[in-house]
């Protein structure tokens, strides 16, 4: 007697991809491709990840794949893959990035190296295991499980976009979305990046804080001058710059300039944040409870508020100080901001503020690093409740809902340029060491993630049309 296809069957197939070692083998093969986008010397490898690994994999799942050259000269290409079953069905866009940060060879723990997956207990070490090869590999494997359970059908249309430059600021991604909007058109984005709230708790986030780096500099004269002969007579650029920064943010991390502060936290966002708790993990730093905006919880400060951070500061010769009044000083500050903050207006406001408060010698300019806009899907959107219910049904746990990630990703390309509601289901955890030596994916989280995504994609085929109707109502 034949067994009817079922959600439980799809979830079980995804779990078997983990138990059989198939998922680990796929990830090991992908990690071995040295796709460092920040080095500027991995053009062959960036292309090979798509042509040699992604295209054959997606071909087996019935996707038609196209490589698109990056409109930014010298940057990695994009892959757009499409699987259209019926124009009347819901369409999902699945996103991931195959590039990684620098491997940091020789700086990993003994017995580990970046370009192979080494399993030590529950940890799968290797560059890209957590960010982002492991995460988009989970989602592709979950699609495979649903296809197998439904006899070669998904029950929805699927498009996959893989970029090869996210770790370098996603150059060309916005231009790609603008020029290929019709090919990338969908009803919802479902993607995975970043960490869960904790390793144990499945998580959904709906956008991200924006990020903007700002360079400050004070150049007063040519060369330094002896502090005994000239100290007290010459303006000190380090002192000027320190006081200028202190006029923007106080000694407890509270933002002082109104233009850098966000609007009040919306009620629906505050309600979602109330269910969250940050920190407390075995490798997490201890939170400074009195740092930042007074009257806010730590969770509200990271998910619902702005932060102004001093990333770097230099005057004189810090490694070998000399008795001289320096000629210049420079610093890089970063504004992490939520929806409602205009980063361009913020830079102009800093210039105006400095000029009005005696710091006209401080030069202000945006860093070359691309600005990620702040985005946030309404927590009351029907897609949000649908996703949370699906994760709960698969795991028996109450998922965490982050109105936006504390970090920054290019979600604005999907939410603003393509106009998509965005659902992110991360498969990593806060202590994964992404961007550092010893990056790793947790095996138990990967296994649960495979089951979660198989259940989510199954549900998209079953109830996706009802969600579209609810959003149109």
As its CATH architecture, domain 210-262+306-366 has 2-Layer Sandwich (3.30)
**What contacts 24+ positions apart, CB below 8 Å, involve 275-282?**
275/400, 275/401, 276/197, 276/303, 276/400, 276/401, 276/402, 277/197, 278/197, 278/302, 280/198, 281/198, 281/199, 281/429, 281/430, 281/431, 282/431
The burial class, CB within 10 Å (0-12 / 13-18 / 19+), for 19 is exposed
Q: For 324, left (φ over 0), alpha (ψ -120 to 50), or beta?
A: beta
d(CA 440, CA 431): 9
Torsion of CA 414, 416, 418, 423, to 10 degrees: 40
- The helix-helix angle for 443-472 and 133-149 (nearest 10°) equals 70
User: What pLDDT shows up at residue 8?
Assistant: 98
Per-residue pLDDT, 280: 83
Pick from 359, 366, 372, 449: which is nearest to 405 by CA? 372
Q: Which two tokens stand for residue 470?
A: 């609810």
What are the DSSP calls for 6-25, one per residue? Answer: -HHHHHHHHHHHHHTSHHHH
* CATH of the domain spanning 7-208+374-472, picked from 3.40.190.10, 3.40.630.10, 1.10.3720.10, 1.10.10.60: 3.40.630.10
Radius of gyration of the chain (CA): 24
The domains of the chain are located at 7-208+374-472, 210-262+306-366
Residues composing the chain: 473
Distance of CA 98 to the CA centre of its chain: 13
Cβ–Cβ contacts within 10 Å for residue 65, how many? 19
- Residue 260 token pair: 């850098």
Query: What are the residue ranges in the chain where pLDDT is below 70?
Result: 1-2, 368-370
Q: What is the pLDDT of residues 363-396, one digit of tens each?
A: 999 986 567 889 999 999 999 999 999 999 999 9
Distance from C-alpha of 70 to C-alpha of 77, rounded to nearest angstrom:
5
Per-residue pLDDT at 374: 96
Q: How far is CA 302 from CA 166, 273, 402, 424, in A?
A: 22, 10, 10, 17
Identify which of 185, 166, 203 has the alpha carbon closest to the alpha carbon of residue 423: 203
DSSP 269-335: HHHHHTT-----STTPPPP-TTSSSTT--HHHHHHSS-EEEEEEEEES-TTS--SEE-SEEEEEEEE
CB atoms within 10 A of CB 177: 21
**Residue 370 confidence (pLDDT):** 64
Decide: 189 and 425 in contact? Cβ < 8 Å.
no
Query: Tokens 């996959």, residue?
Result: 160
CA-CA distance, 265 to 255, in Å (whole number)? 16
Residue 102 confidence (pLDDT)? 97
Q: What is the pLDDT of residue 3?
A: 82
Nearest CA-CA partner of 35 in 93, 81, 77:
77
- Per-residue pLDDT, 28: 98
- The number of CA neighbours under 13 Å toward the Cβ of 253 is 19
Query: What is the predicted pLDDT for the residue at 450?
Result: 98
pLDDT at 171: 94
The answer to whether 264 and 305 are in contact (CB under 8 A) is: no
E-only strand ranges, 385-438 = 400-402, 422-424
Token pair listed for 317: 């010769």
Which pLDDT belongs to residue 340? 95
Q: Mapping DSSP to helix (H, G, I), strand (E, B) and coil, where does residue 226 land?
A: strand
Q: What is the pLDDT of residue 284?
A: 83
Cβ(97)–Cβ(135) below 8 Å: no
pLDDT confidence of residue 282:
78
* 3-class secondary-structure state, position 217: strand
Residue 196 DSSP label: -
């Amino acid at each position: 007697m034949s067994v009817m296809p079922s959600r439980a069957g799809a979830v079980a197939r995804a779990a078997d991809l983990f138990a059989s070692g198939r998922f680990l083998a796929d990830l090991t093969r992908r990690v071995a491709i040295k796709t460092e986008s920040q080095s500027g010397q991995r053009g062959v490898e960036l292309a090979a990840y798509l042509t040699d690994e992604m295209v054959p994999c997606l071909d087996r799942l019935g996707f038609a794949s196209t490589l698109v050259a990056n409109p930014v000269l010298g940057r990695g290409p994009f892959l757009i893959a499409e699987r259209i079953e019926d124009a009347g069905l819901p369409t999902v866009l699945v996103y991931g990035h195959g590039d990684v940060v620098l491997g940091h060879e020789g700086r990993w723990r003994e017995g580990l190296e970046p370009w192979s997956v080494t399993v030590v207990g529950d940890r799968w070490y290797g560059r890209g295991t957590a960010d982002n090869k492991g995460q988009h590999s989970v989602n592709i494997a979950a699609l495979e499980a649903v296809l197998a359970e439904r006899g070669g059908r998904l029950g929805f249309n699927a498009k996959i976009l893989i970029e090869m430059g996210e770790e370098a600021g996603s150059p060309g991604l916005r231009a790609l979305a603008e020029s290929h909007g019709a090919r990338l058109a969908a009803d919802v984005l479902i993607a995975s990046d970043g960490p869960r709230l904790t390793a144990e708790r499945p998580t959904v986030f709906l956008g991200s804080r924006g990020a903007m780096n700002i360079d400050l500099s004070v150049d007063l004269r040519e060369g330094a001058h002896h502090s005994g002969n000239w100290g007290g007579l010459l303006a000190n650029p380090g002192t000027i710059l320190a006081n200028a920064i202190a006029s923007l943010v106080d000694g407890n991390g509270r933002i002082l300039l109104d233009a850098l502060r966000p609007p009040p936290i919306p009620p629906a966002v505050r309600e979602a944040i109330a269910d969250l708790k940050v920190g407390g993990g075995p490798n997490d730093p201890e939170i400074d409870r009195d740092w930042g905006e007074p009257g806010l919880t730590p969770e509200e400060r990271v998910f619902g508020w702005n932060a102004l951070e001093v990333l770097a500061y230099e005057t004189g010769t810090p490694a070998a100080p000399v008795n001289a009044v320096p000629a210049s000083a420079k610093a890089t500050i970063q504004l992490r901001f939520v929806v409602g903050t205009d980063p361009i207006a913020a830079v102009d406001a800093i210039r105006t503020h400095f000029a009005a408060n005696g710091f006209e010698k401080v030069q202000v300019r945006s860093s070359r690093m691309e600005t990620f806009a702040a985005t946030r899907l309404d927590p009351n959107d029907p897609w949000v409740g649908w996703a949370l219910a699906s994760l709960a049904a698969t795991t028996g746990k109450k998922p965490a809902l982050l109105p936006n990630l504390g970090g920054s990703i290019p979600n604005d390309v999907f939410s603003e340029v393509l106009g998509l509601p965005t659902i992110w289901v991360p498969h990593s955890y806060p202590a994964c060491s992404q961007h550092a030596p010893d990056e790793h994916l947790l095996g138990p989280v990967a296994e649960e993630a495979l089951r979660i995504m198989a259940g989510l994609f199954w549900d998209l085929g079953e109830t996706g049309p009802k969600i579209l109707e609810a959003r149109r109502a």
